[in-house]
Amino acid sequence: MEPALFQPFPMRPGRRAQVWRHQPAFRRPRHFHAEPEINLVLRGWARLGVGASERTLRPGELVFFHPGQDHVLLDGAPDLELFVLALDPALAERVVDPGRPPSAWSASLSPAELESLSEALRGVSDVASAEAAESVIAAVFELAAARMVGGGAAARRALEELLVAPHASLTELAARVRKHPSDLSRDFHRQYRVPLVELRARIRLMRFIEQVDAGDDLLRASFEAGFGSYSQCHRVFRRSLGCSPSAYFGGKRAQLDHVVCPGAPSSDLPVRRPSPTACTSRSPSP
């Protein structure tokens, strides 16, 4: 499995919610971001990867990706129609009940629900009002959250804790949810397809970037984000982005944010899983 690249979800200026219709020529590499995301298949099929797991979605099926969960489109039908939706984290907190974050792997819509959502999503691009577009997208998230409440309560609570306090250790998290650390680690990986310690590192990295953007220097930001030292932050940063924090904030960021892997996946040929360095940089697109 190729490493995951940190890439913020491409929101249009002034928008807190966004929906993109999948275009094969602008496929992204395996990546993660702070914005919760939904993938919904309207036609054809899509094989998606999260961590080491894979799932093939058929029409009417959707998946929910949490902040920090890596994901990638591995393959798809020639007639694939896939919509990708995301919310700004602040808006997501109001739309999705923080006490019941989606934990199931996927959900299915009824034919009537799919027809209604298909019409609404296809028309979002023609909506001039940001508030109206947000309403349509938020409705999909509310529907997904209502359908995806399965899974273990301990792993779900651990995710809630991580999003609020990424500095917490595995031992501390286990104590808060009343599980043995090894049991929590195993349950978390099974439920979210990403190791708990890896997701925690990604959440810390995203928090670090937020702190620097807010005006903190690199050292202070690393501690505010929950890293034990700047050297630890530096290691995680290089592993996720392939460059140092100073290079990233010095200009590399714009290039990495827009890395895409051109080429439509084919049901007849195996899909090469490109590394970030093998991809190209283009403007934000689905």
88 lies in some domain:
yes
Handedness of CA 117, 46, 261, 69 (dihedral sign): positive
54 and 142 belong to one structural domain: yes
- Alpha carbon distance 51, 189 (integer Å): 9
- Alpha carbon distance 66, 76 (integer Å): 22
Token pair recorded at residue 190: 């099974």
Which CATH number characterizes residue 33's domain? 2.60.120.280
168 and 140 belong to one structural domain: no
277 lies in some domain:
no
- For helices 181-192 and 170-177, the axis angle rounded to 10 degrees is 90
In terms of residue numbers, what domain contains 62?
Answer: 5-151
β-pairing, 61-65 with 46-50?
Answer: unpaired
* 135-170: pLDDT as tens digits: 888 888 888 877 776 667 888 889 889 988 999 999
144 and 226 belong to one structural domain: no
Q: Is the pLDDT of residue 268 over 70?
A: no
Pick the last residue of a domain from 130, 151, 172.
151
- Alpha carbon distance 63, 265 (integer Å): 19
116 and 138 belong to one structural domain: yes
* 190-212: pLDDT as tens digits: 888 899 999 999 999 999 999 99
Q: What is the pTM of this model?
A: 0.87
Instruction: Give yes or no for a contact between 74 and 271, defined as CB atoms under 8 angstroms apart.
Output: yes
Helix (H, G, I), strand (E, B) or coil at 91: helix
* 28-80: pLDDT as tens digits: 999 999 999 999 999 999 999 988 889 899 999 999 899 999 999 999 999 99
269 lies in some domain:
no
Which CATH number characterizes residue 167's domain? 1.10.10.60
- Alpha carbon distance 156, 150 (integer Å): 10
> What is the pLDDT averaged over residues 90-96?
81
Q: What percent of the chain has pLDDT over 90?
A: 53
Q: Is the pLDDT of residue 264 over 50?
A: no
